[in-house]
Each structure stands twice: as C-alpha cells, then as structure tokens.
Amino acid sequence: MKFLVFAASHRPESYNRKLAVHTANYMKKKAIQVDFAEYAEFDMPLYNDAIEMPEIAGIFGKRASSSDGIIISAPEYNWSYPGSLKNIIDWTSCIIPNPLKGKTVMLMCASPGVRGGILGLSHLKTPLEASQLFVYPKVFPLGNCLEMFDADNTLEIKQSTLLNAILDDYITFTQKLMKP
C-alpha cells in the first residue's frame, strides 16, 4: 500500500505540514510506503478552460493514481478549505481517465481555533466525492494547534494517540476497499 501525503499550506512553519509530517512518519514506522509532497510541488495556474492543462496537474494526477490513498491536512480559511486546493481538484477532474477514481482519502486540519477547522473539512469532502474518491468518514480536526507541538515539532501525546488510532483505522478502510 502507498499513500500520498501533503499539507495544503505554503507556510514554512505550517501546523498542517507538522501534522502531515507526523502522519508520514507514523506510516513509515509501520512499513507503509509514503509519497510525501510539499504543497509548492503542486503550484498551478488558476483553472481556465482557455489554456492547456498545466503539466503539474498531470504530475499530481500520476502521484495520486500511483497511490492507494491520499491524506490531506488542509487549513481552514474563512470557514472553508483553501481555494488553491479546490483549483488542484478542478484541474485534476479534467484528466481522462480520472486518476482519483476509486482512491481513498483521509482529511485532517490544524487550526488555532477550538473547532479544529471542522467546517473546512466538511466542505472539502464534497468535491472529493464528486471526483469519485472514497472519503474516509472520520476526520482529524486538531484545535488549539499553536499549543499542540513542542520545539521538536512532536505532537502532544493525547492527540498523537488519537490520530494514530484513526490512521490505523483508515489504513484498514483502504485495505478493505482495495481488496475485491
């Protein structure tokens, strides 16, 4: 099994990136293959049907299609998810055959607020379902993220235990869907 893991933030000190790194490290410890991407690797122009599909959209599609599942840590912006992420989904949805079809996806968010960006994650499910991914029903909304990582970027123990248990369940969810 292989998972594409990335955070939808360009900030060098991004809390969502810290969550994505925790996730990638946990999966690697379990001997699961991880394709970790920096968000800047998927920078592409705004969707415009008057221009050619950018090469990078094809690269994103290939990295998604060569994975069994995708794990996205997406910040909440104005009670929703980042527009740049919607742009990636929109370009990818124009690729034939659909590289996202039948993949699983798990969503998480680090937010300084108490709700942990739950509304943004809820919105993000919709275009992913439209793209024919199987959206794992549990999300991981990490609230108060400014206090949740130590100086070494280690996630607080209670949250780490909770996230690892959800990741284990997500891996099983993906395994079940991959087996006919």
Name the site residues for ligand FNR (rule: CB under 6 A).
Answer: 7, 9, 11, 14-16, 75-79, 110-113, 117
Q: Least distance to ligand FNR from the beta carbon of 163, Å?
A: 15
Q: Least distance to ligand FNR from the beta carbon of 82, Å?
A: 8
Q: Least distance to ligand FNR from the beta carbon of 147, Å?
A: 12
For ligand FNR, give the closer residue by CB, 85 or 167.
85
Main-chain phi, psi angles of 100, to 5 degrees? -95, -15
For ligand FNR, give the closer residue by CB, 2 or 10.
10
Given the structure tokens 């991004």, which residue do they identify?
Answer: 14
For ligand FNR, give the closer residue by CB, 110 or 128.
110
Cα–Cα distance for residue pair 19/106, rounded to 1 Å: 13
Are 110 and 104 within 8 A, CB to CB?
no
For ligand FNR, give the closer residue by CB, 15 or 170.
15
Main-chain phi, psi angles of 88, to 5 degrees? -65, -45
Q: Least distance to ligand FNR from the beta carbon of 142, Å?
A: 10
Q: Least distance to ligand FNR from the beta carbon of 130, Å?
A: 23
Cα–Cα distance for residue pair 47/51, rounded to 1 Å: 8
Task: Classify strands 2-7 and 69-73 as parallel, antiparallel or unpaired.
Answer: parallel
For ligand FNR, give the closer residue by CB, 103 or 140.
140
Closest CA to 39 of 3, 69, 11: 11
